[in-house]
Structure 1
Amino acid sequence: MSVAVIGAGMAGISAALQLQEAGLAVELFDKSRGTGGRMSSKRTEQGEFDIGTQYFTARHSAFRAAVEDWQARGWVARWQPRLYRIDEQGLRASEDDQQRYVGAPRMTALSRNLIADIPLHSATRIVELQRSEDGWLLIDSEADHHGPYQQVIVATPAPQAVPLLSAAPALANAAAQAQMEPGWAVCVGFAEPLTLALDAAFVRCGPLDWVCANHSKPGRDSAANWVLQSTPAWAAANLDTPPQEVAAQLLAALADALQTELPEVHFTHAHRWLYARPADHQQWGALAAPELDLYVCGDWCQAGRLEGAWLSGREAAQVLLGRS
């Protein structure tokens, strides 16, 4: 049995691994050149930055077991930052003491190691699914055809999934209900390290949502690299703001939040995420139209978070295997 998985983020990777282990022939498709979806890292002249998922936690027993295996393999590492909260009352230590994990030595290390020998069609944007007597044909943005495949799993952000689900209106309607929020991420390389007693902070005032000393994570080397992430509301109001202006505004917000003068800036890079995270928490697990051999998964199906994406992909694969 052949299966196409559209989307090489954690949900798609999780589904593909389950199916490959069950003996199915699986191929991954992703519109980006890299892997991992929002587990993205940016390689620059200033070093590498995690510009998407900053860390993940493990609550579900099955996911905890998987994380322990990844840690034993050296693909992830524990991260115990000096974590703070910044709001109108100022700076104070965060009471959030969850164990956090990061890919090592960058977030994309996890996705690359997980994919391993699964065939991956990168830089391939699938824009349409066509049903034929032999199965599903995948049509990309260059009008090239891939397939046929007997089964298809769509593992993209909800707004990108909707147009691929025209053959299954119930699935398309469900995906259309799952709203996703935008976000801006800014990589900053300072001329010298900031002299602060914090590694990361949740920000609850102004345009910032999260700030992090990227070098505080295991495997990262530069001691002057930071990542700033905006709130969804600020990003929605600044979707078309030029990246240089976004970087300048969030740097000014960082100085205000930390109440300090920042060192000289050597490098900035701003990245806009149109679908940074789910706006609402759903408990669908995964969506399925078994009669059409069509399945859907993603963090937006399973309460957000990287763990949710992994669980959703696993559930989509299990439903498919039960059907087959």
Structure 2
Amino acid sequence: MSQAPSVAIIGAGMSGLSAATRLQQAGLQVTLFDKSRGSGGRMSSKRTDLGTFDMGTQYFTARDPDFVAAVAQWRAEGWVAEWQPRLFRYDEQGLAASLDQQQRFVGSPRMTALSRGLLGNLPLHSSTRVEQLQRIDQQWQLRDSAGEQYGPFDRVIVAIPPAQALPLINDITALAAPAARSEMEPGWAVALGFSAPLELPYDAVFVRQGPLDWIARDASKPNRGSAETWVLQSTPSWAAAHLESEPHAVVAELVSAMQAVVGAPLPAPTFQHAHRWLYARPAALSDWGALAAPAQGVYLCGDWCLGGRLEAAWLSGQHAAKALLETA
């Protein structure tokens, strides 16, 4: 090719952004597409009059040396900050301080700040649901749900959950077969705002009994403001059993579960909001890194390809970009 290959990336969550930034640095022409109104995927924050609520990813850790270096750069940019919550655990024995001493990071001043920083000047077609890939003269055309066409592109990276990716790559056996075997678990998240601080000795709780998986005082995260804001996240099994529940019913049940953890009645929240994640986390761990069909110029990545954490999503995007660059 006489000029740098053009790449379409479907999905502007962490894995898609990771691949996009690496390819842009290598000089390729990259265009992102996402069905949501902006970038970030599960790095989602809801903005309200009380402040923001991190409705998806609550925090992330860094272990891989390359990811550790990336996080150091993001901290220097001011996109992320360290979070040091008073951390507890709740199980059949009751509440106790957690012994987990991992270093934790969050986007600052909200989780979406990281995705906005990574997006930079990359072109993004938001609110665009890509429904079809069509191969024409060794290049790819994309078609969205409104019938709009995009392209041509020399390569395509699909960085979305496997159930959403399958209709796009169903004819590419090397990609479709593993994607079809991969499952994602659902989750419910509830945001709560209170008119006064809750006098509790913890900022976050790993919950190992009942419908809750996690409780966090969002306001305890760096640069979040002074409002009393909390986020509750359900277990995947509870969410699967309540996928079609009304949001108000979800709020009521998860607030009741929080009261069981707290061990006392809670004041009535001044704000409440429930969000359903159909694809909250991988049901099982994989070690693919990313999936590639070089002959067709199509690649798959996401946390489901590697391990379920935000770090895994970033690493998977790096794997996809590396595989693509080897054939560019």
Normalised TM-score (structure 2): 0.98
One of 189, 193, 197 as aligned partner of 1:193: 197
Which one-letter code corresponds to 1:125 in the other structure? R
- Cα displacement (A) at 1:201: 0.4
Asked if 1:208 is matched to 2:198, the reply is no
One of 227, 230, 250 as aligned partner of 2:231: 227
Q: Distance in 2 between matches of 1:165 and 1:219?
A: 41
Q: Distance in 1 between matches of 2:171 and 2:153?
A: 15
Asked if 1:177 is matched to 2:181, the reply is yes
Q: Deviations over 1:48-86 (max 9, x none)?
A: 100000000000000000000100111100001000000
Which residue does 1:239 correspond to in 2? Answer: 243
Asked if 1:19 is matched to 2:26, the reply is no
Which residue does 2:62 correspond to in 1? Answer: 58
Whether the aligned pair in 2 keeps the contact of 1:185 and 1:229 (CA below 8 Å) is yes
Whether the aligned pair in 2 keeps the contact of 1:192 and 1:264 (CA below 8 Å) is no
Asked if 1:271 is matched to 2:275, the reply is yes
Whether the aligned pair in 1 keeps the contact of 2:192 and 2:231 (CA below 8 Å) is yes
- Cα displacement (A) at 1:264: 2.2
Q: Distance in 1 between matches of 2:226 and 2:281?
A: 28
Asked if 1:67 is matched to 2:52, the reply is no
Whether the aligned pair in 1 keeps the contact of 2:174 and 2:292 (CA below 8 Å) is no
- Cα displacement (A) at 1:192: 1.2
Which residue does 2:53 correspond to in 1? Answer: 49
- Cα displacement (A) at 1:134: 5.1
Q: Distance in 1 between matches of 2:247 and 2:167?
A: 29
% identical equivalent positions = 61
Q: Which stretch shows the higher mean deviation, 98-107 or 157-166? A: 157-166
Q: Distance in 2 between matches of 1:314 and 1:135?
A: 23
Q: Deviations over 1:118-168 (max 9, x none)?
A: 000000000111110151011101011110100000000111111110231
Which residue does 1:39 correspond to in 2? Answer: 43
Tell me which stretches of 4 or more aligned residues in structure 1 moved more than 3 Å. Answer: none
One of 120, 126, 133 as aligned partner of 1:129: 133
Which residue does 2:93 correspond to in 1? Answer: 89
Q: Which stretch shows the higher mean deviation, 216-225 or 107-116? A: 216-225
Which one-letter code corresponds to 1:5 in the other structure? I
Q: Which stretch shows the higher mean deviation, 201-210 or 259-268? A: 259-268
What is the root-mean-square deviation of aligned Cα atoms in Å? 0.8
Which residue does 1:256 correspond to in 2? Answer: 260
Which residue does 1:100 correspond to in 2? Answer: 104
Which residue does 1:162 correspond to in 2? Answer: 166
Q: How many residues align?
A: 324
Structure 2 SS opposite 1:194: coil
Which one-letter code corresponds to 2:228 in the other structure? A
One of 131, 134, 148 as aligned partner of 2:152: 148
Q: Distance in 1 between matches of 2:232 and 2:57?
A: 12
Whether the aligned pair in 2 keeps the contact of 1:134 and 1:148 (CA below 8 Å) is no
Whether the aligned pair in 1 keeps the contact of 2:50 and 2:227 (CA below 8 Å) is no
Q: Deviations over 1:219-264 (max 9, x none)?
A: 1013311000000000000000000110111001100111022122
Which one-letter code corresponds to 1:43 in the other structure? R
Structure 2 SS opposite 1:291: coil
Which residue does 2:298 correspond to in 1? Answer: 294
Q: Which runs of 5+ in 2 are unaligned?
A: none
